Structure 1
């Protein structure tokens, strides 16, 4: 996997690069400190699989950074890595197309878990961003089949499509079909939105 880390603080980049090299040695990591450098790198290397993006850069701030990055590489998964982990910021980033959100203030074990999830193709969203409903509902009420519940449970746990297919002994196309049905039931458009929706509904899985 090729990953691009975009953060204007060299110390942060170095620390994350060390963490990734230590726990994920097969990741080919690129780095950039400004939005313009990140866009140039993505243009030169369109095979980047994942971008870890800080929203606060010298030449761009806030969600405009995410919009600009996704405009440059719409097919590349982008996970926000930010010090601003307010629920409204997290949800706005997900609505804008982020494939996950990792708070910079995360404790080391949680940060390792989050990185492992997104680098493995899964989803990570901080628990505080998904305030559960006061009255949890069952999957039956949403019309989910038992197998779709299994898929959603693994998705919530950060599983990638490949991992879900292997664990449930399903073909990738079957997993994709189940996810499409889940998205329709939850009225969402992405894996990340599905994870947040399941948590906010208090779904009993």
Structure 2
């Protein structure tokens, strides 16, 4: 697995790279100090599967970096890192396809827990955003670590996993070999189960529930 760390602060970047080397020794860690360098890296390394991205790069304007990297490497899972912890910023990142958000103030132990959670198929979002989740909906559980306990089918679990990874409908159709109408039907069912009205709300709900989603070998 190849992971690209993108940040313009060398000390922070080196510390994060060291953490990955110690805790995820199977991963090959690449580094970039700017958006331009990150785009060059994903062009040269199409096998990059994870990108941890700082929004405060010198050659981009906030969310621009996320948009550019999502377009340049649509198969990679992007996680945003930022000193801007405002809920509006976090939700905007999720809306643009980020699969998680790590505040730069996150302490070492919590950072490690967050990374393990995301690498294990879960979602990590700060508590400030999880607290914004709408009031509990009748029939929607307060905790459900698996698709089965949530009442989703394996295929709906696959769709939810790709949604959490930030994949648009067309990419979900392609990856799962489904028609667009079938994907929309699955999404509608997922939203009902999660008490969500949008993709962003679904990701927040998955994080609140502690869902862990892995690729399914099932078709359909």
Paired residues of 2:3 and 2:48 also in contact (CA < 8 A): yes
| Aligned equivalents of 1:184, 1:136: Cα separation in 2 | 12
Q: Flag structure 2 segments of 5+ consecutive residues without an equivalent.
A: 162-185, 209-220
Within-5 A mapping of 1:177-196 = 180=186, 181-183=189-191, 185=193, 186-189=196-199, 193-196=201-204
Shift of residue 119, structure 1, vs aligned partner: 2.6
Paired residues of 2:4 and 2:51 also in contact (CA < 8 A): yes
| Aligned equivalents of 2:36, 2:134: Cα separation in 1 | 44
- TM-score normalized by structure 2? 0.71
- Tell me, what secondary structure is at the counterpart of 1:17? helix
- Tell me, what secondary structure is at the counterpart of 2:115? helix
Q: Equivalent residue for 1:51?
A: 51
Shift of residue 109, structure 1, vs aligned partner: 1.1
- TM-score normalized by structure 1? 0.75
CA separation of 1:92/1:187 partners in 2, compared to 1, >3 Å: closer, same or farther? Answer: same
Q: Equivalent residue for 1:7?
A: 7
CA separation of 1:36/1:2 partners in 2, compared to 1, >3 Å: closer, same or farther? Answer: same
RMSD between aligned alpha carbons? 3.1
Shift of residue 188, structure 1, vs aligned partner: 3.0
- Tell me, what secondary structure is at the counterpart of 1:154? coil
Q: Number of residue pairs matched?
A: 180
Shift of residue 46, structure 1, vs aligned partner: 0.8
Shift of residue 176, structure 1, vs aligned partner: 2.2
Q: Equivalent residue for 1:104?
A: 104
Shift of residue 107, structure 1, vs aligned partner: 1.4
Shift of residue 74, structure 1, vs aligned partner: 1.7
Q: Equivalent residue for 2:71?
A: 71
Q: Equivalent residue for 1:146?
A: none
Paired residues of 2:80 and 2:102 also in contact (CA < 8 A): yes
| Aligned equivalents of 1:66, 1:93: Cα separation in 2 | 8
Within-5 A mapping of 1:88-103 = 88-103=88-103
Q: Equivalent residue for 2:114?
A: 114
1:175 aligned to 2:154? no
Paired residues of 2:125 and 2:207 also in contact (CA < 8 A): no
Q: Equivalent residue for 2:21?
A: 21
Shift of residue 55, structure 1, vs aligned partner: 0.5
Q: Equivalent residue for 1:153?
A: 144
Paired residues of 2:123 and 2:206 also in contact (CA < 8 A): no
